[in-house]
Amino acid sequence: MIESDLSKIRQINQIDEAKVQVGEEVRFFVEETAKIEVGERLRIGREASIFGDDVFQDTGRSSIIKMDSESKLLVKGTFDFYYGSDVYIFKNGILELGNSSFINSDCVIRCADKITIGDNCAISHYFKVLDSDFHSINGVKKTSPVRIGNHVWIGTNVIVLKGVTIGDGCVIGAGSVVTKDIPPKSLACGNPAKVIKEDIEWA
C-alpha cells in the first residue's frame, strides 16, 4: 500500500480541512475506494493539553491510519486519537466513532468487520481492540463486531476482543482482557474481565 496524501484524501471524501486535524508525524495509507466521513472534527496525533481541549499540540510521535478498499471510517461528531495511534481498517471493515470521545496514546485498532465506540467515552493509554482472530484454527477464522457503548471509561492496557459488547456507563479496570459482554453500568476487571460491581456511576 502506497502512502496517501492527506489533501487528496480530503478532496476524494469532500472533507473540509478544519474537520481533520493531524500532527506532522501522522501517516495515511488509504485506498481510493475507502470512505471517511467526519461530522464535526477528527484529530489524530494530539497530546493532552493543560490549556484545554481546544488546543492542539503536535508531539512529533508517529501515528498510522491504514484503510483497505471499501473500508469506512465514520466520525459522528468530534473524536480525538492521541499520539502513537495504530489503526488498520481492513477491506469492507467499518470503524464508527462517537461524539466527544477520545483514545489516549499508543492505541491499536484492528477492524475487519465493525467496531463501534459510543459518545462521551474516555479510553486510556495502550488500549487495544480487535474484532477478528485474523488467523484460522482448524480451518475456521472467527470475526465478530465489537460495540463499546456511550459514556464508557476504559483504563490503561485494556484489550477488547471480538464479539464483545460493553454496555453504556461501564468502567473497565486497567489491564483487563474483555472476552465477553459487560452489562450497562458495570465495573469489570481482570483477565478475563468479570463484573465486580453493578449499578455504578462515574464522572
Give yes or no for a contact between 82 and 102, defined as CB atoms under 8 angstroms apart: yes
In angstroms, rounded to a whole number, what is the distance separating the alpha carbons of residues 194 and 105? 25
Which among 157, 161, 146 is positioned nearest to 106, based on CA atoms?
157
For residue 135, indicate whether it is catalytic: yes
Catalytic residue of the set 52, 135, 140, 203: 135
- Stated length of the chain: 203
Q: Which residue has the cell 477491506?
A: 91
Q: Which residue has the cell 475487519?
A: 112
Cell triple for 20: 481533520
**Catalytic residue numbers, as ranges:** 135
